[in-house]
Homo-oligomer: A and B are copies of this chain.
């Protein structure tokens, strides 16, 4: 069980254990090695640990999710509650705690998970099977309805939760539960055994991580077998053969992640080539500007290329997370900045919108347009517009929590070249080079609000290596100083800038990433965005919300083409607003008569009869919307020729 030696070195594992994988170019670093400073993410991570995770625990308890497990041990007789896959909500919550414990001591949470580990161990069958649903009157349905039963999906989340907790504490109890379940699955499923796969992939990446954690190659082989099978529920070809992204987005994101993990272990080039093709399909026509994924409510699915409705964006928070995870694996495999670019878009926009500033409410869907009279636009329709603390299918909240808690493990990697900086936030990191040299990095920045990032490099002693700095695609005109001297001319955007030198303790790097206000249009085939622009600054997508725009209902808002340049807009840091955001102020157009009047269809007039007035408008970061009650919002705004405006 300990062939790779990794079982004993739980402190050294990153979000993904990369140290024994032959095909990862980059090595992940432990979550615990990066301490977040007073930057963008720390308040979010504090809210996660102080508000989100405790509140989610209580909600899981309240909704009977723990009691479901207590039924297995006979300590609770109440009826089982929740959807059949709700075990996974607890497992994801355990994973969130596991990552949080990798950053800091949280004795109470640790005790809670330890007790849960006991509960799960007691509830687990002799054979290793564990499910709160497929027992008693459903016992004979075990593995009989895999298309919809989520049994392997839940098992996968159990494995991930167990691994995160193990990497936090070294406590193997839950990991043993996960391994027993994995062993049982390995007995039941395989080439000469049952060949049906779970309708909801997820277990593939979990099995491979369990292999990385334990060294038990049967887990890798089982993952490989499952990946080689058609995806049962949706009748989709195996991911290595799938010609395009179709069907359920979360499932797709997880199975692509599992495929990437499989490549990293096996070097299966056919898998990698197809994953790159699918990534191109994603970026070419199936991802929102916010990094959100999923056009269709029906089937929670990808649309066709360019099918990206704004108000009816499905854009499930979990789908964003699954694609962030896929991107992370592709980045570790290739070291190509294009994957980090998309991860950054996701994490600051379509992911982060999924949770309220307070950390206690969550969106399931993350639309790009919202209208206050849209009674039924969101799945949250019954409860109005607001994010909700709990959903009937409450997969997103613990998924957000585990992702936020794991963030420090994503900022840096190491490689033969040296140290890579993928994402910029204030922090202190204790990293190690391949030769064992310890390097401490101090990052000071108010990114993404501000354009400057200062990195102090402190190797234990002078050491030659490259500091690989990601220059985001949007950062035209980036500049770098090392110890106050220009260190690179016109660094290429959408790539890593390699600062190769012998670094001495106290060396400083000053990176300047210009953040002019940018105006973006989409491919003309995106019907919803025809004639519209979106506003961006740095990695952030902005939106207009009624709350900030008393002069014009955002549903009527247009922009004048003569104001679509950075100099017409001011970026204004507002520490009191929405936890402290940078607001963009400029001029919009308001129709003198509300657009809402008039018939659904009317004769086309060549010139608009409506006249337009220029009015001051303000845009906020998209991720911060819907934190002030119901307020119409839009990301994409139609543009008028300036000649139309008075």
Chain A residues with CB under 8 Å of chain B are 244, 246, 283-285, 287, 289, 296-298, 303-307, 309-312, 369, 371, 373-377, 518-528, 530-534, 555, 561-562, 564, 595-596, 598-606, 638-639, 641
Contact status of A246 and B309, CB under 8 A, knowing A287-B600, A523-B599: no
- Complexed CA–CA distance, A373 and B596 (Å): 35
- B296 & A530 in contact (Cβ 8 Å cutoff): no
Closest to A524 in B: B595
Contact A377 B298 (CB under 8 A): no
Chain B residues near A306 (CB, 8 Å)? 600
| Known A304-B377, A527-B528, A562-B606; further 20 A-B contacts with Cβ < 8 A | A244-B375, A283-B600, A284-B599, A304-B373, A304-B375, A304-B376, A307-B311, A309-B312, A520-B603, A521-B605, A522-B601, A522-B602, A523-B598, A525-B555, A525-B596, A527-B527, A528-B528, A530-B531, A530-B532, A564-B604
A424, B598: Cα distance in complex, Å: 29
What's the least CB distance linking A530 to chain B, in Å? 5
- Cα of A178 to Cα of B483 in the assembled complex, Å: 91
Chain A's interface: helix, strand, loop or mixed, by majority? loop
Kindly list chain B residues whose C-beta atoms are within 8 Å of the C-beta of A561.
Answer: 606
Chain B residues whose CB sits within 8 angstroms of the CB of A298 once the complex forms: 296-298
For A565, give the chain B residue with the smallest CB separation: B606
Whole-angstrom distance between the Cβ of A240 and the nearest chain B Cβ: 19
* A285 to B298 CA separation, bound complex (whole angstroms): 22
Within the oligomer, what is the number of copies of this chain? 2
Residues in chain B near residue A307, CB distance under 8 A? 311-312, 374, 377
30 examples of A-B residue contacts, CB within 8 angstroms = A284-B599, A296-B297, A296-B312, A297-B297, A297-B298, A298-B298, A303-B376, A304-B373, A304-B374, A304-B375, A304-B376, A307-B311, A307-B312, A307-B374, A309-B312, A310-B527, A519-B603, A521-B604, A522-B602, A523-B595, A523-B599, A523-B600, A524-B595, A525-B596, A526-B600, A527-B527, A528-B528, A530-B531, A531-B638, A564-B604
Provide the residues of chain B in CB contact with A562, threshold 8 Å.
606
* Assembled-state Cα–Cα distance A596/B524 (Å): 8
User: CB < 8 Å: which of B377, B520, B602 contacts A520?
Assistant: B602
Contact B285 A600 (CB under 8 A): yes
Given known pairs A285-B600, A599-B523, the reply for A305 and B530 (CB within 8 Å) is no
Closest chain-B Cβ to A529's Cβ sits at a distance in Å of 9
Distance from A396 Cβ to chain B, minimum over Cβ atoms (Å): 18
Instruction: Point out the residues of chain B lying under 8 angstroms from A522, CB to CB.
Output: 600-602
A486 to chain B, nearest CB (A): 27
Nearest Cβ distance between residue A616 and chain B, in whole angstroms? 21
A337 to chain B, nearest CB (A): 16
Q: Nearest residue in B to A310 (C-beta to C-beta)?
A: B527
**Is B519 a contact of A604 with CB atoms below 8 Å?**
yes
Which of A309, A521, A600, A639 has the most chain B CB atoms closer than 10 A to its own CB?
A600
Cross-chain contact A533 with B604 (CB below 8 angstroms): yes
Q: How far is the CA of A602 from the CA of B283 in the complex (A)?
A: 12
B521→A602 contact, CB < 8 A: yes
For residue A233, give the distance in angstroms from its CB to the closest CB of chain B: 15
